[in-house]
Structure formats: C-alpha cells, structure tokens
Amino acid sequence: MPANKKILVVYYSKTGHTEGVANDIARRLGADIERITDLKNRKGLLGFLSAGRDAGKKARTAIGPVEKDPARYDITLIGTPKWAGNISPAIRAYLEKIAKRLGAVAFFATCAGTPLEPVLNDLETLSGKKAVAFLGLTMRELRDERTYQEKLEAFTSSVGK
C-alpha cells in the first residue's frame, strides 16, 4: 500500500487475538513483523493469575531477544492485549528497552470489552511519542467481520499515508 515507507509491526499475544490483528496489519501494509516473547510461564491458571497480577502492578517481565531495530523503520506499530486494565508486561519491557530507538509510532490493542484509552495513554507515555493512529478492538468487534475490516482499513490507511 505505501509506496516506500518502511513499516515494522511488533506485538505480544498470549491467546492469538493480537497476533491475528498484527498479521492482518502487516499483510495489508507489506510490513516486517516481530513477535515479542514473555519468558515467564503464562500458561494455565497460575500463568493467568501471574499475568493479571504483573500487569496490574505495571511490572515488566523478561522478554526474548529483540531482532528488529525500530530505528531502521519510518514507523513502528506496536500491539498488546489489555491485561488487568494495563498493557502486557512484555510490551512494557519492550518499550522500556527500545523507546529511544523509535521513530513514528502507532498502536493497536485487543481486549474483552473494557475501554482502551488507559492502554493508549500508557503506550504513549512509555514510548514518549504521540501515536499517529490507534486501533482498539474488543472481542465483539473482532468477531464482527465487517466492523473489523472497517477499523483495520481506517488504521492501515492513516499509518500508510
């Protein structure tokens, strides 16, 4: 879509929703993609509880190696699920690590259904940047193909300009 903009999509996803959105965005924009891994075990009930507790405390976590340098891209699109009202600890850790290397940014987030403004605020604060665009998706919007495609189109158009 964009003639020559270099775009990087970075995301963390535990159960695949944010990953699906990241893949769709990357496909539409011809962007490179990087998945952030959380080295803490988030599986099962204990993993779920630790996820909520860590996110609620705004704790970071140890993440796997980051391979792509955002400084080599015109814009980085960063995606996270909402956990306990906050961004995921893995994306918090990622932003703390690479904020200084970011050019322009846009963000996307998925959640069960609660407001995503606090997530956007956190992402802007941690990156030290105002987002060019924000795509927030609830579970209901993810399931409604028409709404999903419309929101995806609006987001990718403003990012690709």
**Position 51 contacts ligand FMN (CB under 6 A):** yes
**Position 160 contacts ligand FMN (CB under 6 A):** no
Stretch (H or E) spanning 27: helix 17-29
* Smallest distance from ligand FMN to CB 46, Å: 11
**Position 43 contacts ligand FMN (CB under 6 A):** no
Which residue from 28, 32, 104 is spatially nearest to 67, judged by alpha carbons? 32
- Residue number, 39 or 112, with CB nearest to ligand FMN: 112
Residues 62-81 that bind ligand FMN (CB under 6 A): 81
Distance CA 70, CA 102 (A): 5
Work out whether the CA dihedral 112, 115, 118, 122 comes out positive or negative.
positive
One-letter amino acid identity for 36? Answer: I
Which DSSP symbol is given to 38?
Answer: B
**Position 114 contacts ligand FMN (CB under 6 A):** yes
**Position 61 contacts ligand FMN (CB under 6 A):** no
- Residue number, 10 or 104, with CB nearest to ligand FMN: 10
Structural contact between residues 97 and 68, judged by C-beta atoms closer than 8 angstroms? no
**Position 110 contacts ligand FMN (CB under 6 A):** yes
| Residues engaged in binding ligand FMN (CB under 6 A) | 13-19, 48, 51-52, 81-85, 110-114
